[in-house]
Structure 1
Amino acid sequence: MKLWLLGTGTPTPSLRRMCSGYVVRVGETYIVFDHGFGAHHRLLELGIRATEVSHAFFSHHHYDHMGDYPRLLLTRWDQGAGKIDELDVYGPPPLKLITERLIADDGAFGPDLVSRTENQASIDVYHARGGQGMRARPAPRLHELTADAAVQAPGWTVRVAPVNHFAPHLVSYGYRLDADGQSFVYSGDTGPSRALGELARDCDVLVHMCHYMSGTAPSKTFAAFTMGHRELAEMAAEANVRNLVISHVTEQFDHPGLREQIVRDVAEIYKGNIFFGEDCMEIPFTAPCPVKLD
């Protein structure tokens, strides 16, 4: 497997950190985990086309985790010109309702889709791209997951765990992808979660939100629904994670000196490999290795 960080930031606007998004390659299959605003731009920077993405998993329905969902869905449909399978989309409810409100006749992109499937100028472009006959509307395969679900596909499996984030207003999940003897766990957004800790046990890579410096949470609710850096270190150590990626980084500590302090504090508790995530960073599934001295 290969893993790239598309967006390591938060809802706070940033030119350096896009909103949450990650992409994994398993063989020739590209799987997206969350696709917040700006994540699709990073996908393009990595040279990965929307038409190459076949599956998308969403952890929850905050806009910084799915703002670029319509861009992925519509670009993939438009550029695919009817020659590729429909996108498989997974996530908590109300995924189906959200998608309907995007692409139904009375949805946000309804007028656009009507024009692209009925206007001759758009049909000409469709045929020029290799499409044949009448143009069908996008019809993604939507899978609303339960908290104990498992998704199996040739060569890989994704398992689900419920996590602690903005309940009861949102349903939020973490995911574990296993393929080729390697494992990737993505927390989504969460505070301390026993279920996620079990899901992450002995995994090769854990990408986890690190939202604030421990001890500075403004309320008990905030600390329950988001993760501080020391709590994250304790969870990763308990789960025996091999590689820990700090992501969903806030402006609170995203400054020279403070980033290093976070890594130092985490290393006092967690003894595996630590990555302070940056957009477009590729994360190894083994230990980081030095390169040739030049």
Structure 2
Amino acid sequence: MKLTILGSGSPEAYARRASTGYLLEIGDDKILFDCGGGVFDNLVRSGRLPSDITHLFFTHLHTDHMMDYARLVHAAWDEGAPPLKVWGPRPIARMTEGYFGRDGVLSPDLYARTELAPSQQVWVARGGTLPRAWPAPEVTEIKPGFSFQGNGWELKSCEVPHAQPAFDCMAFSVEAGGKKFVYSGDAGICDALTELTADADLLIHWCYRLSTDDIHPAIAEFSPTPEHIAKMAQSAGVKELLITHFRIHMDSEEGHISAKAELKEHFAGPATIVDDLDVYEI
């Protein structure tokens, strides 16, 4: 398995970090976890095409985890790719229809690209045929506990505390070739996540605050510090730990020194803060 960081930031507009997105490659499958703002551009910068994505899984539907969804679908469709296979919590089907349905927000664009003669001729010149169908992602709505059997890999999920009851919020694990990868989504520490994480070869976990941050208790309950994450990973037998979802104020030299010191103190294996376009072999 190979992991590429396509977005390691937060909802904040930030040149250094796109919002959330992680690409996991297993054989011919290219599995995207979340698709926040800026992830599309980093996918292209990484040398892939939108049409390369074979599976898209959403942990939850905050905009920083799905803002580039429509762009990915539209661009892959414009390349002539087969419909993208998408899994995510409710209401991902309604949101998809809201983008690409006959009365969706993109319907004027799609009408122009499929019905107007100049656009039709551009499409035909690129190897397309008429009539041209609209984008139609194959969407499956899922709940925590969902599992999926891929080609030589298996995905499992659990519920994690984050933005309930507005959304179902999930973490995912993927096992392939005797290795295990876990992505926390946006998650407070909980027994279900610790169990899902057990003996993972690589865990990537969101980190929305530092231990020194002065924040409201309601945020603290669901936003673990590097120390909390490291202790959980150590107790679960994780071999390598990555933290992500860094906010602007955390990305100072002092913030990195503090976070890495806590990781080193409480986790025995390799551990670090990721950056966009980092690549990890699992």
CA distance in 1 between partners of 2:159 and 2:133 (Å): 36
Q: Aligned AA for 1:266?
A: L
The question of 1:134 aligning with 2:131 is answered yes
Deviations 1:122-163 (A, max 9, x none): 221221222223111111110111211101122111111111
| Aligned twin of 2:16 | 16
CA distance in 2 between partners of 1:284 and 1:74 (Å): 30
- Deviating beyond 6 angstroms after TM superposition, the runs of 4 or more aligned structure 1 residues are none
List alignment gaps of at least 5 residues for structure 2.
none
CA contact (8 A) 1:237 1:270 kept: yes
| Aligned twin of 1:291 | none
| Aligned twin of 2:61 | 61
SS of the counterpart of 1:188?
A: coil
CA distance in 2 between partners of 1:263 and 1:226 (Å): 17
How many residues align? The count is 282
Matches within 5 A, 1:242-257: 242-257=239-254
Identity of aligned residues (%): 35
| Aligned twin of 1:163 | 160
Deviations 1:58-77 (A, max 9, x none): 11111111000011100000
CA distance in 1 between partners of 2:178 and 2:126 (Å): 39
CA contact (8 A) 1:217 1:223 kept: no
Q: Aligned AA for 2:270?
A: N
| Aligned twin of 1:284 | 281
Task: Give the TM-score normalised by structure 2.
Answer: 0.96
Instruction: Kindly state the Cα deviation for residue 257 of structure 1 after the two structures are TM-superposed.
Output: 3.0
The question of 1:100 aligning with 2:97 is answered yes
Instruction: Kindly state the Cα deviation for residue 48 of structure 1 after the two structures are TM-superposed.
Output: 0.5
SS of the counterpart of 1:249?
A: coil
The question of 1:38 aligning with 2:38 is answered yes
| Aligned twin of 2:223 | 226
CA distance in 2 between partners of 1:34 and 1:73 (Å): 13
Within the candidate set 225, 232, 235, 2:232 is matched to 235
SS of the counterpart of 1:161?
A: strand
SS of the counterpart of 1:235?
A: helix
List alignment gaps of at least 5 residues for structure 1.
286-294
Within the candidate set 246, 261, 274, 2:271 is matched to 274
Instruction: Kindly state the Cα deviation for residue 275 of structure 1 after the two structures are TM-superposed.
Output: 2.2
Q: Aligned AA for 1:142?
A: V
Within the candidate set 180, 191, 195, 1:194 is matched to 191
Instruction: Kindly state the Cα deviation for residue 215 of structure 1 after the two structures are TM-superposed.
Output: 5.5
CA distance in 2 between partners of 1:118 and 1:238 (Å): 58
Task: Give the TM-score normalised by structure 1.
Answer: 0.93
CA distance in 2 between partners of 1:122 and 1:205 (Å): 46
CA distance in 1 between partners of 2:125 and 2:176 (Å): 38
